Chains A and B, each alone.
Chain A
Amino acid sequence: MMARTLFSCAFVISLAGLAAAQPALRFPPSVEAGAAFSVSTAGSGDATLYVVGPGDALAHKVHLGENVAFAADELHNAGHYVAILVAGSSPQSVQFDVVASRKPAAISFLAKPSRLAVNRENGISGVAYIFDVFGNLMLKPEEVSFQLSDATGGAQSRSAASHEGVAWVQMNSAPKAGPAQFKAALDSVHATRVVEQVPGDPCSIRMSARPASGQRVLLQTDPVRDCSGNPVPDGTIVSFTETFQGRQSTVDVPLKRGVAETELPAENGAVISAAAGVVLGNEIRWSGR
C-alpha cells in the first residue's frame, strides 16, 4: 500500500514536471463528490488521462478534441486532485478539488459524559461531525440543532453552526434523574445518544432505631434522597457507627429499595450515627427503647 502510494506520488510528480504549459484540459476548479461531470480536451489523436487524488487513481483512454465524461460516484473522495493528460511526449496537467456533496448524510455524535449528576451547569458536551454520503467531512457551515430531553418530557434545545465540519454545544443536566436522550440533527439526518443523569450526593440522612432480637438494635434510614428530591440509587453505602464506652462498632450497608438497614449491639447510652460519603446524618443516643 505504502509502495503504491509512493509510486503514485512519484508518477504524478514526474508527469507534472513534464507537463507542457498549453492547457488542453479544462477541469472546473472544484467538483462535488460523486457528481457526474465532463471535461473538454483540445487537439487530436489518442491520449491517456490520469486522475490522482486522495484514495483514488484512475485512467481514461481519451480522444483529444472530445469531452471526457466522469460518471456519478467515480470521484467521491473529497480533496485535492491532479489530472494529467499524456499524449505522445508532451503530457499536460491540471489541478482541481473534489468537495463534499451538499447533502448531509451522517452525523457522528460524541456526547460526554455518558453519566453525570443532576443539576450540573454545562456538564454535558455534544460534538457533531457532519459527513456526506461518501463519508467526506462537510466543511461548509451548517446549522446543527441539539436537543436534550429527559424522561419527564422536559427538553433543552440549542443550535450551533458547524465550523470546518464540526459543531458543538454544552448543556445543563436536568434536576430530575433518569436517562436523557441527547439528539443532534441536521435536515433529516440525526444521531442520538443516551446520557444517564444520576442523583447527586444524599442531601440528608435520617435514621431511626428500635430494639431487635438478641440484644441488638435495628437501625433503619428513611428513604435517602438528594437535594433535588431524587432517590439516591440502591447500592450507595451508608456507614453506621455506634460508640459506647470507648468501643466502636461500624458497618457499611448498601441502600436497598432506598433505605439502609442493619443491626448493631444494643448498648444503653451508646451513640449511633450514620453517614454516606462525606454527608453526615442524624445521631441517636440509644436508651433501650
Chain B
Amino acid sequence: MSADLRNVNAGHENANRGASRGIGVILGLVLAIGTVALIAIGTIWPNQSDSGVAEPNARVIISASSPQDAVNDLLQQIARREWHSAYELLGNKGEFSETEFKSDLTGEYGSLRSYAMLNQFDLQPLRASADQAEIRAHLIWSSVVGTFEDSRDLRVVRNGRHWEVSWPIVKEARVPPQVIPVNYLRWDVIYRGPEDDWGAQDVEAPHVRIVAMHPMDRAGEVILMGEILNEDVVPAFVTVKASLLDSKGNALGTEDAFDKISHVLLPKQVSPFRIDFHNIRMSQVDSIRMQPSSNLVPASADPVIGIESQKLNPVPDASLTGQLVNQSGQVVNVAHVIGTFYDGGGQIVWVADQYPSRALLPGTPVPFQISLPADISNKVKTYRVVATTYISSRIQ
C-alpha cells in the first residue's frame, strides 16, 4: 500500500515538475519579449523626462532629435568639461567665441566656478513649437564649499532634422588694464622666541567678546546663533566652540562654527556665527557653555567689499539678495557672504551664508542670494550682512 502510494506520489511529482518547467519557459519567454519590447519603445520614443544626472564618463552623442535631447547632450558635454564638443553643439556659435563660452561656465580668476563640476541638472520646458522651444535648465554645480545653482533659459531651434541650443552667454566682466593705487594697511606679528627670558611676555591674544547669542530648537536639532566682536586694536583669528550640557553638567555635544563665521576679524569688527547640533533636542539641554577663542594673526585690512542693494524677498523664494562690490584693486577669487537676521525685538532668528560663484573684480558688482526658510522669513525685520574674502595669491 505504501509502495503504491509512493508511486502515485512520484507520478504527481513528475507531472508537477513538467508543469513547472512549462510555466518557467513561458515566463522566461514573456520576460525576454517584454525586455525587447521595452528596449524598442525606449529607442523609438526616448525618455522625455525633465531631469538628468551629469555622466562624466558618457561618450556617445546621439544626434538630437528633440529639444530635450539637444539640451541634454549639451549639458552632458559641459559636465564632462568637453568645452569644444559642447561649443560645437551650439546653434549660436557666431555670437561668441569658444573662449567666451568656456569662461561663462568656468569663470575666470580662479573663482569657485573654476573648480566646480556640473553635478546635476533639471530641465523645465517653457514653450515649444514645431521649429523652436524654450527650456529652463536648472544647473547644480558641486564645489569644495558645497553646491551652487545656476539657471539658464535655453532657446532650442530646429535645424533640419536636428535641434540646436542657443546658449544665452553671460560674458565675464573684465577690468581694463590700469594701475589702482592702494594704501595697504597690514599687521605683522613677532612672537616670543625660544631665547627670550621666561619672564618676557608674549604678544597678547586679541580680546574678543560674544555680544549676542540665541539658541533655537529646529527640526529636532539645536542651532546656536550669535555674534562675536573683536574689541581689540589688532586683528584676530576667532573661533567659537559651544558645548550643550545636561542637568548633571555632562556634555551632550560639542561643536564649533565651522564656516558659518568670519574667522578673521579686524578691530571692532563683528561676525555672526552659527553652530548646529544634530540629533540633540532643546528639551535635553540644561545649559550651554560657550568658548570663544582668538589668536593674533598677521592680516590685511584690504580688500574692502561693499554690499549693495540688499533686499529681502518674500516667500515663495524667501531670500536676501544683493550685490558685492570690490572697492579695492585686488581680484578676490572667492567671496563668502554671511547674513544675520533679526526679529522686531532685535533678537537673532537666523544666520545663513552663500558663496557667490564668480570672482570679484575691482568695482564690478557680483550678485548674491542667501536663501531663508519660509517660516523664518516671516519673522525677519532687520538683517546685517558681512563678506569675507579669499585671495589665492595670499594663500600661496
A251 partner residues in chain B, CB cutoff 8 A: 304-307, 327
Q: Are A112 and B201 in contact (CB under 8 A)?
A: yes
User: Does A111 interact with chain B (Cβ within 8 Å)?
Assistant: yes
B306 touches A237 (CB 8 A): no
How far is it, in angstroms, between the C-alpha of A190 and the C-alpha of B305 when the chains are bound?
Answer: 49
The reply to whether the CB of B272 lies closer than 8 angstroms to some CB of chain A is no
Contact pick for A237, options B183, B201, B268, CB 8 Å: B268
Contact between A111 and B183, CB atoms less than 8 A apart: no
Q: Is the CB of B310 within 8 A of A235?
A: no
Q: Mark A129-144, 1 if CB is under 8 A from B, else 0.
A: 1000000000000000
Q: B295-313 interface mask toward A, CB cutoff 8 Å, 1 = contact, 0 = none? A: 0000001101111111110
CA distance A250 to B382 in the complex (A): 13
- A114–B211 CB distance below 8 A: no
Q: Bin chain A's interface residue count.
A: 35 or more
Q: Report how far A198 CA is from B311 CA in the complex, Å.
A: 38
* CB-CB under 8 A for A247 and B311, given A114-B201, A235-B187, A278-B211: yes
- Which residues on the A side are within 8 Å of B234 (C-beta)? 115
Name the segment of A72-80, A151-159, A252-260 touching the other chain: A252-260
Known: A114-B204, A263-B327, A277-B231. A236 touches B266 (CB 8 A): yes
Assembly CA distance A278 to B199 (angstroms): 35
Do the beta carbons of A198 and B310 come within 8 Å of each other? no
**How many residue pairs at the A-B interface have CB separations less than 8 Å?**
108
Bound-state CA distance A235–B384 (Å) is 21
**Contacts of A263 on B, CB cut-off 8 Å?**
306, 327
In this assembly, does B395 line the interface, its C-beta being within 8 Å of a C-beta of chain A?
no
- Tell yes or no: B233 within 8 A of A by CB: yes
Query: Given A236, A257, A262, which contacts B233 in the complex, CB threshold below 8 Å?
Result: A236
Whether A254 contacts B199 by the Cβ 8 Å rule is no
Known: A256-B185, A277-B268, A278-B229. A235 touches B201 (CB 8 A): no
CA distance A256 to B327 in the complex (A): 14
A275 to chain B, nearest CB (A): 9
Complex contact A254–B266 (CB within 8 A):
yes
Main secondary structure of the interface of B (DSSP, over half): loop
B199-A110 in contact (CB<8A): yes
Shortest Cβ distance from A240 into B: residue: B306
**Which residues of the partner chain B approach A191 to less than 8 Å between Cβ atoms?**
199
Q: Which residues of B contact A114 (CB under 8 A)?
A: 201-204
A264 to B304, CA, bound (A): 12
Instruction: Please report the C-alpha to C-alpha distance between residue A257 and residue B204 in the assembled complex, in whole angstroms.
Output: 24
Indicate if A17 sits at the interface (CB-CB under 8 A). Answer: no
Query: Is A235 touching B199 in the complex (CB atoms < 8 A)?
Result: no
- Chain A's interface: helix, strand, loop or mixed, by majority? strand
How far apart sit A253 and B307, CA to CA, in the bound complex (Å)?
Answer: 12
B198 within 8 A of A: yes
**Distance of A120 from chain B, by nearest CB (Å):** 12
Interface string of B165-199 (1 = CB under 8 A from A): 00000000000000000010101000000000111
B356 within 8 Å of A (CB atoms): no
Bound: A62/B234 CA distance, A? 66
B384 touches A236 (CB 8 A): no
Q: Render A89-112 as a binary contact track against B, CB cut-off 8 A, 1 for contact.
A: 000000000000000000011111
- Docked complex Cα distance between A211 and B155 (Å): 43
Q: Are B310 and A252 in contact (CB under 8 A)?
A: no
Measured between C-beta atoms, what is the minimum distance from A19 to chain B in Å? 40
Q: Name the B residues within 8 Å of A109 (CB-CB).
A: 199
Q: Is the CB of A235 within 8 A of B197?
A: no
Contacts of B187 in A (CB 8 A): 235
Inter-chain contacts of B269 with A (CB < 8 A):
237, 252, 277
Contacts of B304 in A (CB 8 A): 251-254, 262
Chain A residue at minimum C-beta to C-beta distance from B235:
A235
| A83 contact set on B, CB distance < 8 A | none
Most buried by A among B183, B266, B306: B306
Chain B residues with Cβ under 8 A from A115's Cβ? 203-204, 232-234
B140 on the A face (CB < 8 A): no
Q: CA A277 – CA B383 in complex, angstroms? A: 16
Decide: B233 and A249 in contact? CB cutoff 8 A. no
**Given A236-B233, A256-B183, A256-B185, does the pair A108, B197 have CB atoms closer than 8 Å?**
yes
- A249 near B268 with CB under 8 A, answer no
Q: Which residue on B lies nearest to A115, using beta carbons?
A: B204
The answer to whether B308 and A264 have CB atoms under 8 Å apart is yes
CB distance from A229 to the nearest CB of B (A): 16
In the complex, A199 Cα to B268 Cα: how many Å?
12
Q: Does A113 contact B (CB under 8 A)?
A: yes
CB distance from B242 to the nearest CB of A (A): 22
Check: B200 CB closer than 8 A to any chain A CB: yes
The residue from A113, A236, A247, A248 contacting B268, defined by CB atoms under 8 A apart: A236
Contacts of B385 in A (CB 8 A): 250
Question: In the complex, which of the residues B234, B267, B383, B386 has the most CB atoms of chain A within 10 Å of its own CB atom?
Answer: B267
Tell whether A52 is near chain B: CB-to-CB under 8 Å.
no
Chain B residues in 8 Å Cβ range of A110: 199, 201
Contacts of A234 in B (CB 8 A): 185, 301
Distance from A227 Cβ to chain B, minimum over Cβ atoms (Å): 15
Cβ–Cβ contact B201 & A247, under 8 A: no
Chain A residues positioned under 8 Å from B232 (CB to CB): 115, 198
Which residues of A in the span 168-205 have a Cβ within 8 Å of any Cβ on B?
191, 193, 198-199, 201-202
A111: nearest residue on chain B (CB-CB)? B201
* Interface residue A29 (Cβ < 8 Å from any Cβ of B): no
Q: How far is the CB of B241 from chain A (nearest CB, A)?
A: 23
9 pairs, CB–CB < 8 Å, chain A vs chain B? A110-B201, A193-B200, A202-B268, A233-B267, A234-B185, A252-B266, A262-B304, A262-B306, A264-B306
Additional 20 contacts, C-beta under 8 A, given A114-B204, A233-B233: A108-B197, A108-B199, A113-B204, A199-B233, A234-B185, A234-B301, A235-B187, A238-B268, A247-B310, A247-B311, A248-B310, A249-B307, A249-B308, A250-B385, A251-B304, A251-B306, A252-B266, A254-B302, A277-B231, A277-B270
Nearest 7 A/B pairs, CB to CB: A277-B268, A254-B301, A108-B199, A251-B306, A249-B308, A237-B269, A236-B267
